Structure 1
Amino acid sequence: MTQPVGRLGSIALDCDDPRTLAAFWATVLDGRITVETDRFCGVELGSLLLVTVRVPAYEPPQWPDGRPKQFHLDVAVRDLDEAERRALAAGATKAAEQPMPTSWRVLLDPAGHPFCVTTLIPA
């Protein structure tokens, strides 16, 4: 096996309110906010940093059509109902379209980014 170039250090999410989005993801993923400004926040998740960045004229992605097209995050869980309940309590909303609700639930973070809670990935 060859040596990797490096390791994935962070994932950045565009938004209009970095503080609110960072607080949401810190709650959902049991992270710790280590950087917090009006333009940029960082949530420490072990060896990964989740970054929330204010962008001018931010438009949330649309699910399932993907306008503007972005990636989404999958959160591995043991209990879908409990994970959904806790994410909703933290500020998520449930997407109208649920393609396979017995294995994953599509939710939207406070900035409108789709993410899934799923039992298909080992928790």
Structure 2
Amino acid sequence: MKLGAITLDCPDPSVLAVFYQQATGLEPHPKSNADFAALSSEDGLVIGFQRVEGYRAPRWPGQTVPQQLHLCFKVEEDLDEAEARLLELGAGKPDHQPHEAARARVLTDPAGHPFCIVRG
């Protein structure tokens, strides 16, 4: 078994696809549309973003609206530089940071999904 795709619920798939494209450099999937957008990696993994009416963003670290999953990204650059670039792209930084700042950071994407950046 090999993982082929991960899909995130969101209010606006194209906005989230642009954020992750700029953050990761992944290529837009040719069948993206207003209700479903996706990015593809060279190894075939697809990250999808599907429109959900009445979407409620996860509340990190609380569980009133659980995160259900989060993505972790290895970064080759300095974590401070990666964090600054992601914040400029529209990420948020929650106050709660469960890891040592030198090792990993928790950020949120524009739809509120938490994700981690870790030193690669």
Q: How high is the TM-score relative to the length of structure 2?
A: 0.89
Residue among 71, 74, 87 paired with 1:73: 71
CA contact (8 A) 2:67 2:114 kept: no
| Separation in 2, partners of 1:110, 1:69 | 14
Task: Give the RMSD, CA atoms, in angstroms.
Answer: 1.2
CA contact (8 A) 2:60 2:67 kept: no
Q: Which amino acid aligns with 2:34?
A: D
SS in 2 for 1:36: coil
How many residue pairs get aligned? The number is: 115
Q: How high is the TM-score relative to the length of structure 1?
A: 0.87
- Please list every run of at least 4 consecutive aligned residues from structure 1 whose deviation after the TM superposition is greater than 6 angstroms: none
Residue among 7, 12, 16 paired with 1:17: 12
Report the Cα offset of residue 65 of structure 1. Answer: 1.7
**Other-structure match for 2:21:** 26
Superposition map of 1:79-90 within 5 A: 79-90=78-89
Unaligned runs of at least 5 residues, structure 2 = none
CA contact (8 A) 1:22 1:41 kept: yes
Percent of residue pairs bearing the same amino acid type: 42
